[in-house]
Structure 1
């Protein structure tokens, strides 16, 4: 029987923290992360020298959020992961050029991405399906939203402050082990 290993850690995570995660560990994050979807990847790569934010060493989340504006601030209503598999082709280039270390999503990523994660001490954290409301409750503050006018609310880049954000399952660890092989 597998023993569950629960880890509470800060976001972003250091390379050492990432290195110490093992396949199937259950992680909860407190700190900063970025919602970063399909069209945001393309735009960020195109304009990487003039981005209004930095993803170096950060955590990105493949997510299509439902946000509500209340007065002058935003509130997350639901924030479930979108399928990461569809971003396999662009993720390697984005990780290399933009420098993020952790990807959160659902459905996993391919062997090429897992190999890159092994070579560069990165990891993939998977959210369980159907947890959009639970994950939204862990979003304590929306620090910034970028490219709303161009990309719309579900494709914009959202900079979030989260507390005990999870459960996240280590789906690809920094040794290249993958639940998706």
Structure 2
């Protein structure tokens, strides 16, 4: 009789652990719509047209900052224009050491998932085989000096790096 409760407890604990591991592996930490305990989780296969949005893979959106509403990447980090880039040229002027400090915002597809950006969003080929995201034909970048969402530490660096408004204009404050 003494072994039965211990076996039952072990089986229940193993089942709970298995359930917790499955829930953790399928939840997106960026997705604030994840289910909480007691809610039934449903899984839907995304269609071709909405696969990124359905999976929470938004690559560009907008957020508030000390400079107003700005374009941010999927992690909420501020996007920047480089004044040396030529709009609609299909190439980035940032190379070598520039890319160390100003990594491009990239997408795995030619059609990034976008929310809240009214400017035209596209891509150009990136050196690593992915696609560098463009806004109004201009490549966009992150700044390594921005550690958290809302940071705008790259604003006006060397008078050539500019935060981007949702309509695609440079913010020059």
Q: How high is the TM-score relative to the length of structure 2?
A: 0.28
Larger radius of gyration: 2
Q: How high is the TM-score relative to the length of structure 1?
A: 0.28
The structure where helix makes up a greater share of residues is: 1
Higher RCO structure, 1 or 2 (CA under 8 Å, sep 6+) = 1
The structure where strand makes up a greater share of residues is: 1
